[in-house]
Chain A
Amino acid sequence: MGQLANQTSTQLLAKDMGLTPQSIERRRKIVGLEAQDLVRIDAIKELVSGHVDEFTTLFFDYLSPLDEARPMLSNRTIADRARKLKREHLLAMVQSDYGTAYVEQRLELALLYSKVGLDLRVFLAAFHHLLKGIGAMVMKHHEHAPLEGFAHFMSLKKVAFFDLGLIVDAIVFERERIIRQQQDAIRELSTPVLQIRERLLLLPIIGVIDTHRARLITDSLLKSIRAARAKVVVMDITGVATIDSKVANHLIQTITAARLMGASVIITGLSSDVAQSLVALGIDLAKLNTVGDLQGGMEEAENLLGYRVVPGERTTNGAPETHA
């Protein structure tokens, strides 16, 4: 069951990273892996697979004294799984088949590293140590033909760098996933555009406005103006604690863009602090139509649209009946 879940999560990761058979082929080409490399790797296949346990131990022995590797090695189950995967990795490295299955195998290990938070620099150092071990063994085996041994080892090293590319990409991708999730969260929290009356929109802004969010606000506002055929927009910035020149600039851009589409914008809810800082910043507010609070803004907007709100007879329609 657990095995199956891992299988699908690596497949998912491969898909998210855009690892198609074509892009894997491209990756092989980038490291320069060619047919003759496969022949050379085949020549040292027995040698590497014969000493696979030794090499695996080499990798983990290098990691074990390092504090940075403790999160992975201190947990017995994870350490065993990493060991098993690394052993499989070494065996697969000399199998001359570097397709989708091989890539998914690499991603599985990368996911594990990323889950336990293994630092890339630690992994790279240990991987280098492992390669050094393999290199030494290959060279020893080719004592009388060092050039040939070196060529064999370099072919294997291409595969190693192919793997490194995948693992580094996968770990970085996993890290960026968090950033993407946060961005999505911000996007969801981002400003709603509400229709209050026919051709009247309300845009309450709460929280910090940065360039990215300002762009989203402008985008959704302009689209809503078109969709709702809005003539007046009330932008309430009561929830914006501080305004600097950048934010003010964003707001002015939004307002100017809305005006280009034929909608006028009323800004409400400028606190005294915000008003003072705007004045101190020397921002030209002559073009802005500001009203003290949201209520005043709504009244102004209704006035612009020609609405007149008058208190009328209260209807009992739908109200709870008291004398049944």
Chain B
Amino acid sequence: MPVPILKQGEILVASIQAALSDVDLAALRDDLADRVGRLRSRGVVIDVTALDVLDSFATRTIRGIAYTARLRGANTVVVGIQPDVAFAMVQLGLSLDGIATALDLEDGLELLLRTRNDGRVHRN
């Protein structure tokens, strides 16, 4: 199932609604990399609220998306990681180093809008 990518101003929102196969994930990565450049986006939000598992491939792909987007000029925020998922990721040693995370879509958008001007993440 392909992931819908919504454009909201300068920000792209990819909302993952169901468990993804590795192929879908790779497609999402390519799709986002393409659109960030084409639509001149400044931010990407990846919403994983619906996922109850994030395995090593998914984590690596999300990291890949974030780094690619950064090189193309957009910051990435991963939002909606569930408590159980967060704990499992830590236990499995999977990390999202250097990538901003936020509680939900609202916080993620706010974070991106706040960091838009200088491209650096900081709070208030």
Q: List A residues at the B interface (Cβ < 8 Å).
A: 218-219, 222-223, 225-226, 229-231, 253-254, 256-264, 303-306
- Provide a sorted-by-A list of 22 A–B residue pairs whose CB atoms are within 8 angstroms: A218-B87, A219-B83, A219-B87, A222-B83, A222-B84, A222-B86, A229-B103, A229-B104, A229-B107, A230-B103, A231-B103, A231-B107, A253-B91, A257-B86, A257-B87, A258-B86, A260-B101, A262-B103, A303-B124, A304-B123, A305-B124, A306-B124
Contact B90 A257 (CB under 8 A): yes
Q: List B residues at the A interface (Cβ < 8 Å).
A: 78-79, 81-87, 89-91, 95-96, 101-104, 107-108, 123-124
Contact A304 B101 (CB under 8 A): no
Chain A's nearest CB lies how many Å from the CB of B110? 10
Contact A225 B83 (CB under 8 A): yes
Interface of A, helix, strand, loop or mixed by DSSP: helix
List of B residues within 8 angstroms of A305 by Cβ: 124
Given contacts A219-B83, A223-B83, A304-B124, whether A260 and B103 have CB atoms under 8 Å apart is no
List of A residues within 8 angstroms of B102 by Cβ: 262
Number of A-B residue pairs, CB cutoff 8 Å, is 61
List of A residues within 8 angstroms of B85 by Cβ: 260
**Which 6 pairs of residues, A with B, have the shortest CB-CB distance?**
A222-B83, A262-B102, A260-B86, A257-B86, A262-B103, A306-B124
Chain A's nearest CB lies how many Å from the CB of B16? 15
Given contacts A225-B83, A304-B123, whether A261 and B95 have CB atoms under 8 Å apart is no
Q: How long is the Cα–Cα vector from A231 to B79 in the complex, in angstroms?
A: 13
Closest to B78 in A: A260
List of A residues within 8 angstroms of B83 by Cβ: 219, 222-223, 225-226, 257, 261
List of A residues within 8 angstroms of B96 by Cβ: 260
Q: How long is the Cα–Cα vector from A3 to B103 in the complex, in angstroms?
A: 58
Q: How long is the Cα–Cα vector from A229 to B105 in the complex, in angstroms?
A: 12
Contact B101 A261 (CB under 8 A): yes
List of A residues within 8 angstroms of B90 by Cβ: 253-254, 256-257, 260
Q: How long is the Cα–Cα vector from A305 to B124 in the complex, in angstroms?
A: 7
Q: How long is the Cα–Cα vector from A4 to B104 in the complex, in angstroms?
A: 57
Given contacts A222-B83, A226-B103, A229-B103, whether A260 and B89 have CB atoms under 8 Å apart is yes
Q: How long is the Cα–Cα vector from A263 to B103 in the complex, in angstroms?
A: 7
List of A residues within 8 angstroms of B84 by Cβ: 222
List of B residues within 8 angstroms of A223 by Cβ: 83
Contact A256 B103 (CB under 8 A): no
Closest to A224 in B: B83
Contact A261 B86 (CB under 8 A): yes
Given contacts A231-B103, A260-B81, A262-B102, whether A222 and B123 have CB atoms under 8 Å apart is no
List of A residues within 8 angstroms of B82 by Cβ: 226
List of B residues within 8 angstroms of A262 by Cβ: 79, 81, 101-104, 107-108
List of B residues within 8 angstroms of A258 by Cβ: 86
Q: How long is the Cα–Cα vector from A241 to B59 in the complex, in angstroms?
A: 36
Select A256's contact among B78, B95, B104, B107, beta carbons within 8 Å.
Answer: B95
Q: How long is the Cα–Cα vector from A260 to B86 in the complex, in angstroms?
A: 6
List of B residues within 8 angstroms of A260 by Cβ: 78, 81, 85-86, 89-90, 96, 101
List of B residues within 8 angstroms of A231 by Cβ: 103, 107, 123
Given contacts A218-B87, A222-B87, A231-B107, whether A259 and B101 have CB atoms under 8 Å apart is yes
Chain B's nearest CB lies how many Å from the CB of A201? 12
List of B residues within 8 angstroms of A229 by Cβ: 103-104, 107
Further pairs besides A226-B83, A260-B78: 10, Cβ < 8 Å: A222-B83, A222-B84, A226-B103, A231-B123, A257-B89, A257-B90, A260-B89, A260-B96, A262-B79, A303-B124
List of A residues within 8 angstroms of B101 by Cβ: 259-262
Given contacts A225-B103, A253-B90, A253-B91, whether A261 and B124 have CB atoms under 8 Å apart is no
